[in-house]
Amino acid sequence: MKIDATQLEDLALGSVFLATGGGGDPHVPLLIAKQVLSKLGPVNVIAPENLDDDALVVAIGGVGAPTVSLELLPSVDDAARTLEAFEQQVGRKVDAVASFEIGGGNSLIPLVAAAGQGVPVIDGDGMGRALPEAQMMSYAIAGVKPTPAVAYDYAGNITAFSTKSTDVYERHIRSLAMVSGGMITTAEHPMSGKELKNSVIPGTLSFSIELGRTLRENRGCSDELLAPLQAVFENSIYGECRNLFTGKVTDKATRITGGYDVGEATIEPFDGNGPALNISIKNEYLLATLDGSVIASVPDLIIIVDYETSMPINAERLRYGQRVAVFAVGCPNFYRSAKALKVVGPRCFGFELDYVPLEEV
Amino acid sequence: MKIDATQLEDLALGSVFLATGGGGDPHVPLLIAKQVLSKLGPVNVIAPENLDDDALVVAIGGVGAPTVSLELLPSVDDAARTLEAFEQQVGRKVDAVASFEIGGGNSLIPLVAAAGQGVPVIDGDGMGRALPEAQMMSYAIAGVKPTPAVAYDYAGNITAFSTKSTDVYERHIRSLAMVSGGMITTAEHPMSGKELKNSVIPGTLSFSIELGRTLRENRGCSDELLAPLQAVFENSIYGECRNLFTGKVTDKATRITGGYDVGEATIEPFDGNGPALNISIKNEYLLATLDGSVIASVPDLIIIVDYETSMPINAERLRYGQRVAVFAVGCPNFYRSAKALKVVGPRCFGFELDYVPLEEV
């Protein structure tokens, strides 16, 4: 399978849905990916099972506060230069690159790096969605070490890391992102083909294109969106898809704290009758609470789409007065293990509650 | 010339004086240096002029808030492991190590690294005193690039930097120190022997030992200290030595802000009559103000010693009620050039005034 420039719109659209509000706005990464793939040709996509066990794979993407990606625009070279710096640091070429997260702009960055350096990209990612911290990646949860890793900033400064734990690594890259304008590109979690197969959320790159096509073909009022969404999720690694709520954004406030966008949004029914839905945000939409009851929570996916167009809305673009529909999708099973929930459950984001799978709410 | 374990007490004592309140408490570095030099033998000291022009020299020392060095104790291996990581990063052995700053614990760290890795240490440093930021080093002022550089933290995490400017490098290491417990060891500003000769403040390692011996031989009331101090500074690269004030600390407050110890101290005359001396602190004692007039300012040296014992007191050990004497010493000429004052003058620390050399006050 190959991905060419014509598939990128669908990929970006699907990835914004899977980003659950975070992951960084894909607009500029999309422009960059189109330009690079138009110039350099399509990128080879490898299914994880077709990768050699002793291949060297590295995950690549942007790290920082998504809000910043609207202002500190990535450059066309960032991804390839990051990969190049990584290869120089470890003294060998990589055999493939993989996504941190299929959600948002980070679905596109590996394609740009892959095209620039002439390597294939893995059909799969490290989250199946978007999540804000490195230790929340499936690679890390499955035991892949985060370093040797390399960070590259807007000015071409290069930082190489060799850390003893993912927690420390996360702290280091987060602080570097904060003093580098809020956003850096990193190549990290290098792994063998065998390690990748044991840790990747598989098939999400091709799935995101399929999801994007579904969204494109179903533009219009989101009252009509649930059936086609359910059809596309039914035969996927994801769980049930539900329409949680429809209404108008009456309040939304986030601030950048510790390198994250943190805040809340309130959505009231169109007619003003009945309880409001509250959405808790830390880069991503993490918790949907109705009338005091949690009706969906991380790591399940919570998605907000524009009511009139069915287009997903990122947290940094969510505004007072928008008419929206809120969907939830069960996360891949990988994230429902006790080991995974220890690093991505609601408590990891400061919420005093246990995860209840969407299907059991 | 060689430095052995028996000279370290004098070196540490001289370096606390030259640290002008900052530089990190040398107590634990002294214990470490004694242990390492007793075990591995004396360290060769090379005068800058005897170094080959094409030798590779790297500066090594601690970066962080001095207050932290009282709590997050360095380990005996940190310096040698940092140097080793640097050599691995650049792919070659260094020919000598140099000090960031002769002031405080950073006078001893290069000796520990040198003994551990079997290389000589340069008789000289990059400040002639202590100063809080990387771009204030004579190496940087003379145009030596800060990277490739390597940082090593208390847990053995290694970070390698390749930055385009010293300002960016300073921001990166400062933020790394802050998320690494407040203190890291770095090997940085690699330079050729030729570059070192053009940028080093020469002879300060041997001078610090001589100054320390003078202080040791003149323990006791600081009323007797000025004459021997003037004798030792007279034939040095430093300027005039003055006794600015004698009195009691009546107020002292510092807080850790942005990785620095920032604050003020007030010293009143013993009899309470006459104006108080105010000392402004950012890691180091930067400004001495009497009755609204600045009577000494950075980059000239301001030193506070215990009145009864003449022992220098670091800013993190300065306390309410201490009886002290305040001295000032003209800085080396290197720091009086327009180029140097642009990065170390009072305005660089937020004070709205121009530098006036001590001799002209």
- More confident of the two residues B68 and B17: B17
Whether B161 and A158 lie within 8 Å, measured CB to CB? yes
pLDDT beneath 50, residues of chain A: none
Whether B171 and A179 lie within 8 Å, measured CB to CB? yes
Q: Which residues of A touch B156 (CB under 8 A)?
A: 164
Whether A89 and B162 lie within 8 Å, measured CB to CB? no
Instruction: Tell me the average pLDDT of chain B.
Output: 94
Q: Which residues of A touch B160 (CB under 8 A)?
A: 89, 159-162
Whether B175 and A179 lie within 8 Å, measured CB to CB? yes
A226-234 and A204-217 are packed helices; what angle lies between their axes, rounded to 10 degrees? Answer: 160
Whether A155 and B175 lie within 8 Å, measured CB to CB? no
Tokens matching residue A154: 């807007």
Percent of chain B predicted with pLDDT > 70: 99
Q: Which residues of A touch B155 (CB under 8 A)?
A: 164, 168
Q: Look at residue B306 in the predicted model and tell me its pLDDT.
A: 97
Nearest residue of B to residue A258, measured between CA atoms: B179
Residue A155 has its nearest CB partner, among B164, B176, B178, at B164
pLDDT digits (tens, 9 = 90+) for A76-117: 899 999 999 999 999 999 999 999 999 989 999 999 999 999
Q: Which of B86, B176, B180 to mutate to test the interface with A (most CBs of A within 10 A)?
A: B176
User: In angstroms, what separates the C-alpha of B69 from chain A's closest C-alpha?
Assistant: 20
On whether any CB of chain B is under 8 Å from the CB of A171, the answer is: yes
DSSP string, B179-191: TTTTEEEEEEEEE
Q: Which residues of B touch A171 (CB under 8 A)?
A: 179
pLDDT digits (tens, 9 = 90+) for B69-122: 667 777 889 999 999 999 999 999 999 999 999 998 999 999 999 999 999 999
Q: Look at residue B25 in the predicted model and tell me its pLDDT.
A: 81
Q: Which residues of A touch B85 (CB under 8 A)?
A: 162
Cβ neighbour number for residue B198 with a 10 Å cutoff: 15
Nearest residue of B to residue A177, measured between CA atoms: B172
pTM metric for this prediction: 0.86
In sign, the C-alpha dihedral spanning B69, B73, B79, B81 is negative
Whether B157 and A161 lie within 8 Å, measured CB to CB? yes
Whether A175 and B171 lie within 8 Å, measured CB to CB? no
Whether A156 and B178 lie within 8 Å, measured CB to CB? no
Q: Look at residue A215 in the predicted model and tell me its pLDDT.
A: 97
Q: Look at residue B320 in the predicted model and tell me its pLDDT.
A: 95
Spatial separation of the C-alpha atoms in residues A70 and A262, rounded to whole Å: 16
Under 8 Å between Cβ of B184 and B81 = no
**Range B242-253 average pLDDT:** 96
Tokens matching residue B280: 């402004």
On whether any CB of chain B is under 8 Å from the CB of A82, the answer is: no
What dihedral angle (degrees, nearest 10) is formed by the CA atoms of B114, B314, B149, B255?
150
Give yes or no for residue B259 having a pLDDT over 70: no
Pairing of strands B183-192, B56-64: antiparallel
- More confident of the two residues B321 and B75: B321
**Range B21-32 average pLDDT:** 88
pLDDT digits (tens, 9 = 90+) for B272-310: 899 999 999 988 999 999 999 999 999 999 999 999 999
Give yes or no for residue B316 having a pLDDT over 90: no
Under 8 Å between Cβ of A98 and A200 = yes
Pinpoint the alpha helices (H) of B180-287: 193-199, 204-217, 226-234
On whether any CB of chain A is under 8 Å from the CB of B161, the answer is: yes
Q: Which residues of A touch B159 (CB under 8 A)?
A: 159-163, 172
Residue B158 has its nearest CB partner, among A162, A171, A175, at A162
Residue B164 has its nearest CB partner, among A157, A168, A176, at A157
Could you tell me the domains of chain B? 2-202 (3.40.1610.10), 219-350 (2.40.390.10)
Tokens matching residue A252: 């939304």
Q: Which helix (H) or strand (E) holds B96?
A: strand B96-99
Q: Which residues of B touch A161 (CB under 8 A)?
A: 157-160
Establish whether this prediction's ipTM goes over 0.90: no
Nearest residue of B to residue A157, measured between CA atoms: B163
Whether B179 and A172 lie within 8 Å, measured CB to CB? yes
User: In angstroms, what separates the C-alpha of B147 from chain A's closest C-alpha?
Assistant: 10
Q: Look at residue A182 in the predicted model and tell me its pLDDT.
A: 86
Under 8 Å between Cβ of A140 and A213 = no
Give yes or no for residue B172 having a pLDDT over 90: yes
Spatial separation of the C-alpha atoms in residues A46 and A82, rounded to whole Å: 21
Q: Phi, psi (5° rounding) for residue A122?
A: -80, 140
**Range B196-225 average pLDDT:** 97
Q: Which of A176, A184, A186 to mutate to test the interface with B (most CBs of B within 10 A)?
A: A176
